[in-house]
Amino acid sequence: MPNETEGVINAEDDLMIRAEGLVKIYKTKETEVLALQGLDLEVKRGELTAMIGNSGSGKSTFLNMIGGLDRPSAGKLWVDGNNLFTMTESELVNYKKNTVGFVWQNNGRNMLPFLSAIENVMLPMYLSSTKAKKEKAMELLEKVGMAHKKNSRMNMLSGGEQQRVAIAIALANSPKLLLADEPTGSVDVNTANYIFDVFTELNKNGQTILIVTHDMALSKKVKRVVAIRDGKISSERILKEAYADRVKETNIDWREEETQNEYAILDKAHRLQIPQELIDSLKLEDNKVMISQRDGEIIISKPQ
């Protein structure tokens, strides 16, 4: 558990991410936007977790805070034992350099166009004490299947090839946490499958990965999917055991098959978000509902 006095958790704890009551407010002269509204989430070391949600739900805001690109407004947030509320600017620079690796949807943010693939992968290593930079860069390009394009620049690579190089760049300084923002958002189905296979292989070797995605087929292959709505975690989907060893099978329609069990999430105050379609089915006249218990079930119904 976190030490409330010092505001840290042990880096050897089995939790990579711990968010409690996380709030983010964006202010302008005219208004305030509440992007996160008390988000609670834990991600264990070695997990591959996907986060889904509609545009404006808060998922990219959360990813930016985990990546050290944005500061939380309130709540608590630890990553690998680091308290992101109390870190100084210099500590934050080291955190972004050594703890997290980022793969962006926009490849222009991942790569410098005037450098070759191998030079792009080597670039982050010059900011650290990494030795044998060229050898490690080649090893990473081989890992993502891009060793044969090591001398190619960005304009010589397809979108999928650029994204695979981007993964190698994100891994250059051996980050403890790999963050990916819509990594398959601009590639075809076959390339998306290949990129997902890269992530699963990295995860099998112990890499902790958090992916934000709109890709329904990709999210249905992930063992744990967190759904965010209105700035809070609304539900989690867990991959059914029958599909756990079948993620590489091409004869499965991952968009249509029910590959996961979905669970509503209670927050710290025992509140949960009820899907809109279920509320609509009650045809409520106002915001009041009846709650009762029967045979181990909690029943929500329209007032009589």
pLDDT of residue 7: 45
CA-nearest of 232, 259, 236, 237 to 246 is: 259
> Per-residue pLDDT for 32 more than 60?
yes
Domains of the chain: 15-99+175-273 (3.40.50.300), 275-304 (no CATH)
- pLDDT, mean over the chain: 87
Provide the whole-model pTM: 0.87
pLDDT of residue 11: 52
Using 50, 70 and 90 to split pLDDT, how confident is the model at 28?
A: confident
> Per-residue pLDDT for 40 more than 90?
yes
Confirm if 179 and 152 have CB atoms less than 8 A apart.
no
> Per-residue pLDDT for 149 more than 60?
yes
> How does pLDDT run across 115-147, given as a tens digit for each residue?
999 999 998 888 766 668 889 999 999 999 999
- What are the CB-based long-range contacts (under 8 Å, 24+) for 248-251? 248/197, 250/193
**Token pair in block for residue 186:** 């601009």
Confirm if 152 and 90 have CB atoms less than 8 A apart.
no
pLDDT of residue 99: 93
pLDDT of residue 129: 63
What CA dihedral angle connects 267, 269, 270 and 271, to 10 degrees?
Answer: -70
pLDDT of residue 5: 42
Q: What is the mean pLDDT of residues 195-210?
A: 93
Q: Distance between CA atoms of 221 and 247, rounded to whole angstroms? A: 6
Q: Distance between CA atoms of 236 and 242, rounded to whole angstroms? A: 18
> Is pLDDT larger for residue 225 or for residue 184?
225
Using 50, 70 and 90 to split pLDDT, how confident is the model at 204?
A: very high
Q: What is the mean pLDDT of residues 276-280?
A: 86
